[in-house]
Amino acid sequence: MKLIRSDRKALYAFMAPALAVMILFFVIPVIYVIVVSFLKWNGISAPALNNLKNYALLMKDKSFSRSVINNIIWALVAGFIQVPLAMVMAIILSRKPKGWKFFRTVYFFPQVISGIALATLWRAIYNAEHGMLNGLLRAIGAGAAAKDWLGTIQTAFPAVLIYWVFYVGYYMVIMMADITTIDTSYYEAATIDGATDFQQAIYITIPLIKKTSLLTCVTLASVMGLRQFEQVYMLTNGQPANTTSTIVLYMYKKMQNANYGIASASAVILIIVGVVFIVCIRKLFEGRGDKPVVAKNVRRAVK
Amino acid sequence: MSETRLRPALHGKELVLAVIRWILIIFFAVYTLFPLIWLIISSLKTNFEFLAQSPFSLPSKPQWINYKNALTVAGLGRMLLNSVFVGLSATLVNVIIASMSAYCISRFRFKGREKIFTLFTAGILVPLNALMVPYFVIINKLGLYNTYGGMILLYAAIGIPMSTFLIRGLMDSIPMEVEEAAYIDGCGFYGRFFHILLPLSRTGIVTAATFEFLTCWNEFVFANLIVSSEKLRTIQVGIRYFTNQFSTDYVSMYAAIVISIIPSILGYVLFQEQIIAGMTSGAVKG
Amino acid sequence: MKKLFALILAVTMCLSLAAIAVPASADEIVINFPSIWVGTDSKAPYMAEMIEAFNAENAGSIKVVVEEQTDYQAYRDKIRTTITTGNAPDLCILDTTFDIKAFAESGKFMDLTPYLEDGWGENFTDGAFDAWSVDGKVSILPFEAAVFTPIYNTEILKAAGWDHFPATYDEFFKMAEDVKAAGYNVMGQMAGDNAWSSMLWYSLIAEAIGGKDVYEGGLSNPAFVEAAKVLKEMYNYTFDGAVSATASDVNGHFLARDTAIYLNGPWWIANFYKEDNAVDGVLLADVCEVATNPAYEGGKGDNGLVTTVQGFLAAAKQSDPAKEEAVVKFLKYISEPERVAQWALSSGAMFFVKYTPSPDTTLISQKVTEVSNNASYTILHVNGAFPTAFSTEFPAALSALILGEVDEQGFVDQLQLAIDMA
């Protein structure tokens, strides 16, 4: 939209609060973090310039590269498994099966339960001795597969990742709201043409939410995956052998060690990895010349 | 399939789909209800039962005293009110500021727009734990240490990038034509924002508000960092009342958690219709 | 809707303004004290009593305001942040995860030496300050002590045919075989969370092997590789899933009475006497006995004791001498031997203060004190002796060792690398 002169002032006025907040709470603090990332500093003695040494140390540290890889896997699983699952459930529930309102509410519950409770519950489920998962395996005669799920290198990270993938409530609600805005005449026409529910989902629903709520959810979920900290911290504390660590957990431990230089350097790397990731997602969703879909499906907005 | 004769009969693929659909619905319901039920059952045990026996057994005798502990010893009532107040205020401030900036970024081409948007996107990714020191300094310098204002400002601020991102995403999908028509009719900058964009992007605003509120509700690190007075403590601090340096009184903590989630679940159930209505009363796709 | 928003905004602003203006009477000195000795901590009730009494005695002139902190990790984060930004609280509690030496050198804390030399120091146990003073000055005050010595369930040992606790580690593993054969776990190990129990065992084994000079030369002392071997061996005698276990698993097993030996600090002693933990009316304390750390065949250890400083008191440097006096007055108040004796009795905690213990020698805490009094020397646990980086890396290195990802030398190397990095 063109800007006329009077608009310009208004525009500045509208941007001002957000920009002020961004400068005060993000730009300045992040500059601080970047500066500290070049220092050797324990937070109490005088800091000393450390040049790029912190970054060099990070590159060499296997547990840091493992953390970066874990975060990328986490973001991919969140964006491309968790969100599609949420989408499937959103599509199913928006066809209003019996009790859909109840389910919609119930699916949201885990969002409001404190992370501490979820972590202790899942520790108990994965527990080697009286864990529910092992109990289940023994009950179906697969007792040989029973193990210390969070204490085995091969299973710990998948176990941490998987339990959380099925908590889809938040993304589901966002997509359901979007789906309800789709003009019902589309579905009516498709039903007359004999399209199944499945086909309707593929050809009508998904293309219509792709650029809006689906993109939002994929980005949101990936960001959550990249920033993952609390669940890992409480479930495994990054163990065994640092195989479940994440960047933020790594950073947090370095802060505990009062090694602010390396902690800050890992924060900087997380921001860089994250920006690259988000740009890739946007490219993925915008890239393939399917813009016409949106243009064609111009919303019938206000009457 | 005689029993379904009255309705259009499900057969072949459709039957399979219907079965899969219900398996999924039930699976997710069990999966999401289980933690809550487990939590409630655990909150009625003794610590001995919880620690020394199977975590999936039932309490021999329900220990309502845990709830009494949570309410009286930890003083959860005041903390709940604080959480609601801080959460709602921060959310309100947050979405107002974010929708204003989202409007500008989404609807106008101005110098530095791309840079500003990149800045917001990067803001989403900043690991806030790394910012404890600068945030503490800022809140202190503003004279807001140990105040509601400090918490509200900090919570509103840290959610700005995410909220702007969510609201802008929605505004971007509203066609320019709608606004151009209003523009021609003489509707100004503010008019278009209040009368067209804001109502149309309700979905995004509600999404952002829900996210922001949940963030405030679940936040602990900064709630502990920038507040020292018991009067201002929020619920997440209260939940941790039953941990100490050496051990945790799990059962009382679980009682505290159950008490703390009742308002959020109740609020969600009560306001769900409004929230969803807010989400859906915008545009119609098609 | 608009009205509601406006209302909320207005209320918000009023409240934030109201909260800024904290009224304080001009003459009263307020000491702010973020404390972890609150909530469910066993030291909390008596601490609260003391503060109340102190405030009443000094009404109008001094007031100690406690900021309750229950989550220790969050407390550490906050204290570290406040100190880094130059906002150290008037008084706070530190532990060995902080770099105490660097704190003492920083000059940000009050120099307590003149007060200690002026008679107050007499209250403290001999040599309490030695390891923590810088240039002969004490600014970070070692206050709460802890000793770590095994406590065992006599019934389980009896069931395995043992009427005494092993005196050497060779004997220990013979007993372990018997206990295991009788269907019990020997001890609780954990590599999950902060690997606390295993870290304590590691300290005990290292003491038995390396003796009182085990920390000289840091981790390069071969005792640490040897100790890693013994610790790994112990994982054959713990419960299933110890690699991912946490303190609540270890405690739970000992409470369930399926595990023979327990190792933790004195703060846990209260649990031995809780009715909740009784089985068929028998208190845990009634079936438990305190042991000493076994000796190691060919080791240098000789009746040593693993201890730590569980809590230091640190007071921020004050520009106002009157406030400094007030803080010291409070510190003196809570380190008064009679009060400390009561405090110790009511909580089970131990202090670096000389006090007359309770005469009841059947108490587990008394037996622990006896073991500690009979020790020929004390060393710190590894957590306190090495930089924090050691402790944060310990769970990772230990789980790698137990799962066979690294050998004993690799385990020690990994810890050394973490220390070097910090």
pLDDT in tens, A244-299: 999 999 999 999 888 999 999 999 999 999 988 888 888 888 755 443 333 333 33
In a 13 Å sphere around the CA of B77, the CA atoms on its Cβ side amount to 5
Domain residue spans in chain C?
A: 26-147+308-351, 150-291+386-421
| pLDDT for the residue numbered A292 | 35
If you count them, how many residues does chain B have?
286
Is-cis flag, bond preceding B175, omega within 30? no
Residue C332: which residues within 8 A CB-CB, separation 6 or more?
C115, C120
For range A128-152, the mean pLDDT = 88
Amino acid B286: pLDDT: 44
d(CA C203, CA C209): 10
Q: Is the confidence at residue C22, as pLDDT, over 60?
A: no
ipTM of the complex: 0.87
pLDDT band at C9 (very low <50, low <70, confident <90, very high): low
For the segment B218-246, the average pLDDT, to the nearest whole number, is: 86
Q: How confident is the model at residue C159 (pLDDT cuts 50, 70, 90)?
A: very high
Q: Write b or e for each residue in A11-36: b if 16 or more Cβ atoms lie within 10 A of its Cβ, otherwise e.
A: beebbebbbebbebbbeebbebbeeb
How many Å separate Cα C173 from the centre of its chain? Answer: 28
Q: Do C193 and A237 touch (CB under 8 A)?
A: yes
Q: Which of B189, B195, B212 to substitute to test the interface with A, most A CBs within 10 Å?
A: B189
Using CA of residue C302, residue C308, residue C309, residue C310, what is the dihedral sign? Answer: negative
Predicted confidence band at C94 (pLDDT cuts at 50, 70, 90)? Answer: very high
User: What is the pLDDT, as a whole number, of residue A300?
Assistant: 33
For C286, residues 6+ apart whose C-beta sits below 8 A from its C-beta are none
The closest of C249, C208, C212 to C230, measured between CA atoms, is C208
Phi/psi of residue C295, nearest 5 degrees:
-85, 160
One-letter identity of residue C319 = S
Query: What is the torsional sign of CA A120, A122, A123, A129?
Result: positive
Q: CB A212 to CB B169 under 8 A?
A: yes
β partners of residue C380: C307
Among A139-148, B3-12, B31-40, B67-76, the least confident range: B3-12
B window 236-265, beta carbon within 8 A of C? 240-250
Q: Do C40 and B243 touch (CB under 8 A)?
A: yes
Q: Place A1 in a pLDDT band, splitting at 50, 70 and 90.
A: low
By C-alpha distance, which of A245, A288, A235, A234 is closest to A270? Answer: A245
Averaged pLDDT, A20-31:
93
Comparing CA positions, the residue from A128, A242, A241 lying closest to residue C403 is A241
- Nearest CB to C399: which of A129, A239, A262? A239
Q: Using pLDDT thresholds of 50, 70 and 90, give the confidence band for residue C12.
A: low
Q: In order of start, what are the domains of chain A with their CATH numbers?
A: 1-26 (no CATH), 68-255+274-296 (1.10.3720.10)
Tell me, which fold does domain C150-291+386-421 have in CATH? D-Maltodextrin-Binding Protein; domain 2 (3.40.190)
- B193 has a chain C CB within 8 A of its CB: no
- On whether any CB of chain B is under 8 Å from the CB of C217, the answer is no
Note whether B212 contacts C: Cβ–Cβ < 8 A. Answer: no
Model confidence, pTM: 0.90
Residue C120 near residue C288 (C-beta atoms within 8 A): no
Contact A301 B174 (CB under 8 A): yes
Q: How far apart are CA B66 and CA B59, in angstroms?
A: 13
Contacts of C103 in chain A (CB under 8 A): 44
Among C244, C250, C390, the residue to mutate for chain A (most A Cβ within 10 A): C244
Let me know how long chain C is. Answer: 422
Task: Tell me the pLDDT band of C203, cut-offs 50, 70 and 90.
Answer: very high
Residue B180 CA to residue B183 CA, distance in Å, equals: 5
Of A61, A129, A156, the CB nearest to C239: A129
Over residues A126-152, the mean pLDDT reads 88
DSSP label of B185? T
Domain coordinates in residue numbering, chain B: 10-65, 75-280
- Average of per-residue pLDDT across C344-369: 83
Do residue B224 and residue C74 have CB atoms under 8 angstroms apart? yes
* CA nearest neighbour of B66 among B39, B34, B84: B39
Residue by residue, DSSP assigns chain A as ----HHHHHHHHHHHHHHHHHHIIIIIHHHHHHHHHTTEE--SSS--EE-TTHHHHHHHH-HHHHHHHHHHHHHHHHIIIIIHHHHHHHHHHHHT--TTHHHHHHHHHGGGTS-HHHHHHHHHHHH-TTT-HHHHHHHHTT-GGG---GGGSHHHHHHHHHHHHHT--HHHHHHHHHHHTTB-HHHHHHHHHTT--HHHHIIIIIHHHHIIIIIHHHHHHHHHHHHT--HHHHHHTTT-STTTT--HHHHHHHHHHTT-HHHHHHHHHHHHHHHHHHHHHHHHHHHHSS-HHHHHHT--B---
User: CA angle A199-A202-A203, nearest 5°?
Assistant: 85
Q: Are C284 and C278 in contact (CB under 8 A)?
A: yes
Provide the 8-state DSSP code for B194.
I
In this complex, is the C-beta atom of C70 within 8 Å of any C-beta atom belonging to chain A? no
Which residues 94-153 in chain B show a CB within 8 A of chain A?
97-98, 100-101, 103-104, 107-110, 116, 118-127, 129-135, 138
Side chain identity at C303, as an amino acid letter? N
The distance of C213 to chain B (nearest Cα, Å) reads 29
Assign a CATH topology to domain C26-147+308-351: D-Maltodextrin-Binding Protein; domain 2 (3.40.190)
Q: Is the pLDDT of residue C1 over 50?
A: no
Cβ–Cβ below 8 Å for A128 and C244: yes
The answer to whether the CB atoms of A301 and B283 lie below 8 A apart is yes
Interface residue of B244, B249, B281 to substitute, partner C, most C CBs within 10 Å? B244
Using CB atoms within 10 Å of the CB of residue A114, give its burial: 0 to 12 exposed, 13 to 18 middle, 19+ buried.
Answer: buried
What mean pLDDT is predicted for residues C100-123?
Answer: 89
| More confident: B92 or C269 | B92
By CB atoms closer than 10 A (0-12, 13-18, 19+), residue C366 is middle
Q: What angle (nearest 5°) sits at the alpha carbon of residue A50, between those of residues A45 and A51?
A: 150
In this complex, the residue of A238, A241, A260 whose CB is nearest that of residue C403 is: A241
- In this prediction, residue A302 carries a pLDDT of 29
Query: Could you say which residues from 155 to 194 on chain C have a Cβ atom under 8 Å away from some Cβ of chain B?
Result: none
Q: What confidence score (pLDDT) does residue A297 get?
A: 39
- Candidates B160, B193, B284; nearest CB to A18: B160
Distance between start and end Cα atoms, chain B: 37
From chain C, the residues in CB contact with B224 under 8 A are 69, 71, 74-75, 77-78
Over 70: is that where the pLDDT of C416 sits?
A: yes
Between B81-90, B169-178, C110-119, the lowest mean confidence (pLDDT) is in B169-178
Of residues C175 and A49, which shows the higher confidence score?
C175
From residue C195, alpha-carbon distances to B53, C188, C200, C390, C391 in Å are 22, 11, 9, 12, 9
What pLDDT does residue A303 have? 27
Q: Which of B201-215, C39-53, C353-367 has the lowest mean pLDDT?
A: C353-367
pLDDT value for B89: 94
What is the band of B274 on the pLDDT scale with cuts at 50, 70, 90? low
Between A15, A114, A181, which is nearest B283 by CB? A181
For the stretch B117-155, pLDDT in tens is: 888 888 888 888 889 999 999 999 899 999 999 999 999
Structure confidence at residue B275 as a pLDDT band (50, 70, 90): low
d(CA A101, CA C214): 65
Query: B225: closest CA among B95, B137, B107?
Result: B137
When the candidates are 1.10.357.10, 1.10.3720.10, 1.10.10.1590, 3.40.50.11810, the CATH number that belongs to B75-280 is 1.10.3720.10
Q: Provide the pLDDT for residue B285.
A: 54
Contacts of A156 in chain C (CB under 8 A): 244
Highest mean pLDDT among A65-79, A178-192, A204-218, B32-46: A65-79
